[in-house]
Amino acid sequence: MKFLILNGPNLNLLGKREPGIYGTENYEALCRMVEEHASEHGSTADCFQSNHEGAIIDAIQAADGVYDAIVINPGAYTHYSYAIHDALKSVSVPAYEVHISDITSRESFRAVSVTRPACVGQIYGQGLRGYTMAMDYFLEQAEP
């Protein structure tokens, strides 16, 4: 499988931004982790992060016909980006939404996801492991 791992605003600051919530591992460690996990399963994973909504939409649109699955952490766009929702619905590549923290136990606005309905599932509160859990969902679906 070919995975596109998409990360939205501020995820480039992993390890620095509120480590009590998001952990101490940095963004590069996250990318290494998902790339290694993919490789262990005969797959590949490409990481992309942007603080810009349009760049994320462009990456989703460009994924069509190139990737088998998208694992996306839209960051704050989760709560209000109908444009990302629409982009996910517009491509034939299935997506799984991931959040590092438990979005249901934080501020009330964080529990609302407008992008979730465009995804096959959502994982939250599992730390960085949520990314590999989402990848495993797709790997299991691909098994004969």
Distances 28 to 11, 13, 31, 34, 88 between C-alpha atoms, Å: 10, 10, 5, 10, 25
**Catalytic (active site) residue 22:** yes
Catalytic residue among 77, 96, 99, 131: 99
d(CA 129, CA 139): 15
Catalytic residue among 22, 67, 77, 131: 22
**Catalytic (active site) residue 99:** yes
Catalytic residues: 22, 99
